[in-house]
Structure 1
């Protein structure tokens, strides 16, 4: 069965049904390469910029979200330097999220909540190797406009 399918694909023949585009479930940004912080203000600046990127992506899609999730990768205890220069290497991943009553794409709100979630993880900033921020429970911006 698979060989027939591949034979057809090689000749540009595809009888599968074309389906509608799936609705976006989440919008976010994540960086797992080159993340190194020396002090808390470095991590704070990173969160500010990551929040800005997520806010811009939400606005670009015309969406707002109610649940914000912060994911942080930290170097596993006892792990050496990664093989890939500035890579994340052997890490543990942890995350925290919170759901708001109203949907938002507001930059200041995202920054404030991202900072709160990061503080709740109680991580040593020198061990951070990756950070991601994601908004879910999305709504069209015209429905949730004004909720911050």
Structure 2
């Protein structure tokens, strides 16, 4: 199991492809607060609920200076389909070998239908404008997570 990131530590560097096949690097995110959320698989019920909650909260998040980026192991083409199907208004990144998941503490053993499996751990990491971790939440629930995150960040409804 990978370690969770410590508050105040620099975020691990990465370069991944987005839903359109364009490269996005951690360096590209500097200058603005960023919510990175890791989810198991595009277009599954829980991941759709969580993505739509982020979509529906974009006004409040952006109004407080945050951008949202979702990261899963899905290929860019599937991420594009997910974005289009659910009218998602934020970037989705593809991490097919789960290296970024691992670096951010979002990969490891978890319970799935009563069995221990290795896979993506639904997690959220918030970065400041310099790429420093300000909040790290692991093993979050899909339903209600965005509302909880907004409360923790002091963002009104």
| TM-score (structure 2 length as normaliser) | 0.28
Instruction: Give the number of the structure whose residues are more often helix, by fraction.
Output: 1
| TM-score (structure 1 length as normaliser) | 0.29
By relative contact order (CA 8 Å, sep 6+), the higher-ranking structure is 1
Q: Which has the larger radius of gyration?
A: 1
